[in-house]
Structure 1
Amino acid sequence: MTSTAQLNTPAPNPALGLLDPGTGACLAASAEACDRSGTPDQEAVSVLRESGLLGLAVPRRYGGAGADPVRLNRCVEQVAAVNGSAAIMLFQHYAVSSRIVEQGTRAQHEQLLPRLASGEWLAASAWSETGAGANKKNLSTTGRRTENGGWILDGAKSFTTSAGLADIYLVLVRSGAAPTAEAAGDSGYGAADQTFFLVRGDNPGLRPDTSLRLAGMRGSATGFVSLHDCYVTDAERLGPIGAAAGIIARVRESGATLGAVAVGLAQAALDRAHEHAARLGLSHQALQHRLVDLATEVEAARAVVERAGRRESADPGTTTLHSKLFASAAADRVITAVELILSSAGYVEGHPVIRYGRDARAVALMGPTNDLCRELVSTSWNR
């Protein structure tokens, strides 16, 4: 079982994905401050840029660590144990970095990956839209070709993590073109006429809005991104035209899972329960057994997240969906139980366990939402 104290063990190399004491303390402090203010956690982003953690998903030849999904999930869990919002931003950065590694051209690799690995650039995904549905099949954001071969993107994205903080966004648009047979993919998520574009944060046609006030993940800068006459070249397209659905399917198959965020939050809550029991000198057998049961639930969630990262099952995409479902539900149960153990102490404004609970519930609503995960899994059975 990994404790918060163990998370702060110095790492011989930040590329290993471990937090040193200073990094962990800074992330924890900024989490508390931004949860109170509801403002984007810019301090956490600065810490992540300097820590070396942003380069884990990038191959070594481009300055990264070349970490596999198991290590990526472990790193996200560790960050989540001290700062859930930072963990969400880190996860999204890894997801975009991995998509560029898998789908990018050689020129995109050479131009983008070193910046993503060094921490110079933070990446974010801009897929969701109001009214589009959790499965992103009814997008209104469009991309149309220009006479010179470029593209004009128009539309509005909602619930974009790292809005206004990211240096590059992976934007999903309706391009009005069907993919080639080899590029098509039925993921149950996205549609056949959708295309991905990599849009720089300093593009004058992209405007972030972080006025959204969230109940959980309050420091994650989750907000809106509008695209108005946003011009991009065809070289900024990621993957074939109309092939976004197939790329999305491979996102799940990678084994990287938001379940890792949930595990980190559950572990942090469990550590608080142990600290509370030790401080009060509580040695009742019933309480000890309850803590053992909670620790077992955290370990079970950690195990299913690790299995997803190892991609050892016959259907790794479904395993990844299961890992998010189980880990997020387990985190909710564990944190609720810890609140009861803490009794009145856990209901004092500003107590960390309250933030853990709100952050854990937010994980269930992040894409694919838990309800969509259930639908995707059940659909896979019919196939």
Structure 2
Amino acid sequence: MFPKASGEGDDGVSALTERVRYLAGHLARPTATERDRRRSWDDNLFKALTAVFGDGLTGVQTAAALAALGEGSRDPGLALAVTTHAVLTTVPLRAFGTSAQHERYLPRIAAGEWLGALSLRQTRAGAFASTVAARPARDGASGWVLSGSLEQVVLGAQAHHFLVVAEHRDGSRTAFLLDRDTPGLRVEQAGPAAMSSCCWGKLVLDECRAPADAVVGAVGAAAAQTEPLLAGLDWVFTSATWLGIMRALTDESLAAARDHDLFGAPLAHSQSVRFLLADIAIQNELAAGLLHRAAERFDGTATPSPQEAATVRLFTSSAVRTVAAGAAQLSGAGSAADGFVERAHRDALFFASTAGGTEVLRPVIAASLLGLG
């Protein structure tokens, strides 16, 4: 799944995060506002950032690097695209793919040549109603016929392949890895108003002919294999990029407290402002602790429990809204030259909704506490 840690020091986390933060700050941050405004995509920028992740980072290293990416770039949309390619579509392939799939895809994924796409509607484990149906091919050919559509496909417009979970007539589900040129597969332009610098699309499967070797894991076993892993990866590692965004928002808040005046006195002299800064710092520390503990689980013998992963996502999505609101209060939404606070506040609302919100995450936590699975 993830390469194992060496057990030496911090396993290069400090050097890695500094490198990612530097690259993101110098390559992505200067153009973040313009790319967001124009909804434009920079393929060279994306490849330069994904090259850092390669194929050899542990779970802890990956989480730390994604946090550094969010902090340095101040670009939630770009960070989501990197996370989807480097983690959400790649780790399930490593975990459940065949040796032939590994040989064909992983080297090109690590090199940034082949981008993987995924619908955020399919990272909710069993909590979503599948919108893609699968049936065996019946015309003498092997493989499967897939029909349906998926919204909110991250990297849809640029992807080489798509990770898709489809439902069979008996209610079981299977994961497929579909190349862009698969007959019956097409991508339409569509995407949310938020995270405009991400590359979105809508995936339409019209009697799509998936070959037998496109199956990831066992047939009918996605509910026990791919789906739980996808949910845990999304809840933990997408949260990592938002930890970085929160740290950048905290920097904005501190700068505003030091530089802005209220009735002739620095904001930092106000007790209410100091309390707000303390609350922001607490949100950062608690989110970082939860995230690090969950990321460590991916480097152990088992992935985080659903309760632990859902807790990370639920707390982080709440924390980022608190931190973004505090930064807006101190600096004024959009008052910074690059409009970062305003964009982060907008995108944080979308982030909170993509995992299904509290109506999905709280039941997952409660079910784990009650031993209901």
TM-score (normalised: structure 1): 0.80
Q: Using the TM superposition, give the Cα deviation of residue 104 of structure 1 relative to its aligned residue in structure 2, in angstroms.
A: 0.5
Residue 305 of structure 2 corresponds to residue 316 of structure 1 = yes
Residue 364 of structure 2 corresponds to residue 376 of structure 1 = yes
Residue 113 of structure 2 corresponds to residue 115 of structure 1 = no
Q: What letter matches 2:312 in structure 1?
A: S
CA distance in 2, matches of 1:201, 1:24: 32
Q: Is the 8 A contact 2:67 2:241 kept in 1?
A: yes
Q: Using the TM superposition, give the Cα deviation of residue 369 of structure 1 relative to its aligned residue in structure 2, in angstroms.
A: 3.5
1:286-337 Cα deviation digits (max 9, x unpaired): 2345323312221111111111111289963311110000011011001101
CA distance in 2, matches of 1:303, 1:14: 16
Greater CA drift, 347-356 or 317-326: 347-356
Q: Tell me the number of residue pairs that the alignment of Structure 1 and Structure 2 aligns.
A: 342
Q: Using the TM superposition, give the Cα deviation of residue 51 of structure 1 relative to its aligned residue in structure 2, in angstroms.
A: 3.4
What do you get for the CA RMSD once the two structures are aligned? 2.9
1:351 to 328, 339, 348: 339
| Aligned counterparts, 1:97-108, within 5 A | 97-108=90-101
Q: Is the 8 A contact 1:173 1:196 kept in 2?
A: yes
TM-score (normalised: structure 2): 0.82
Matched residue of 1:128: which SS? Answer: helix
Q: Which residue number corresponds to residue 284 of structure 1?
A: 269
Change in Cα spacing, 1:139 to 1:127, as seen in structure 2 (3 Å) is: farther
Residue 176 of structure 2 corresponds to residue 197 of structure 1 = yes
CA distance in 1, matches of 2:317, 2:290: 11
| Aligned counterparts, 1:1-150, within 5 A | 16=16, 18-19=19-20, 21-37=22-38, 39=39, 41-43=40-42, 45-53=43-51, 55-56=53-54, 64-65=55-56, 67-81=57-71, 82=73, 83-93=75-85, 94-126=87-119, 128=121, 135=126, 137-146=128-137, 147-150=140-143
Q: Which residue number corresponds to residue 174 of structure 1?
A: 167
CA distance in 1, matches of 2:354, 2:248: 20
Change in Cα spacing, 1:259 to 1:21, as seen in structure 2 (3 Å) is: closer
1:58-100 Cα deviation digits (max 9, x unpaired): xxxxxx21x2222211222222222111111122121211101
1:181-210 Cα deviation digits (max 9, x unpaired): xxxxxxxxxxx5111110112334222222
Change in Cα spacing, 1:136 to 1:110, as seen in structure 2 (3 Å) is: same
CA distance in 1, matches of 2:183, 2:255: 50
Q: Using the TM superposition, give the Cα deviation of residue 15 of structure 1 relative to its aligned residue in structure 2, in angstroms.
A: 10
Q: Which residue number corresponds to residue 338 of structure 1?
A: 327
Q: Using the TM superposition, give the Cα deviation of residue 370 of structure 1 relative to its aligned residue in structure 2, in angstroms.
A: 3.7
Matched residue of 1:114: which SS? Answer: helix
Q: Is the 8 A contact 1:167 1:201 kept in 2?
A: yes
Q: Is there any run of 5+ residues in structure 1 with no aligned partner, and where?
A: 1-11, 57-63, 178-191
Matched residue of 2:280: which SS? Answer: helix
CA distance in 2, matches of 1:275, 1:210: 39
Q: What letter matches 2:65 in structure 1?
A: C
The 4+ residue runs of structure 1 with deviation greater than 6 A are 12-15
